[in-house]
Amino acid sequence: MVNLFDYLPYPYGIIISIGAIIFATVSMEGVAWFLHRYVMHQFGWYLHEDHHRYTKGRFQKNDIFALIFAILSIILIILGLRVYNLLFWLGMGVSIYGLGYFLFHDVLFHKRIKNHYRPKKEYMKRIFDAHSYHHQTTNSKGSGGYSYGFLYASKKYSTLIKDLQIKKKNV
Q: How far apart are CA 132 and CA 140, in angstroms?
A: 16
Residue by residue, DSSP assigns 36-96 as IIIIIIIITHHHHHHHHS---SS--TTHHHHHHHHHHHHHHHHHHHHTBHHHHHHHHHHHH
**For the chain, percent of residues with pLDDT exceeding 90:** 50
Per-residue pLDDT at 78 exceeds 90: yes
pLDDT top residue among 45 and 58: 45
The predicted structure's pLDDT at residue 64: 95
The predicted structure's pLDDT at residue 139: 76
The predicted structure's pLDDT at residue 168: 66
Residue pair 31/46 in contact by the 8 Å Cβ criterion = no
pLDDT top residue among 85 and 163: 85
Q: Domain map of the chain by residue range?
A: 4-170
Confidence of residue 106 (pLDDT cuts 50, 70, 90): very high
Mean pLDDT of 9-26: 92
Average pLDDT, the chain: 87
Per-residue pLDDT at 127 exceeds 70: yes
The predicted structure's pLDDT at residue 43: 92
Q: In the chain, count of helices (H) and strands (E)?
A: 6, 0
The predicted structure's pLDDT at residue 52: 87
Mean pLDDT of 112-120: 92
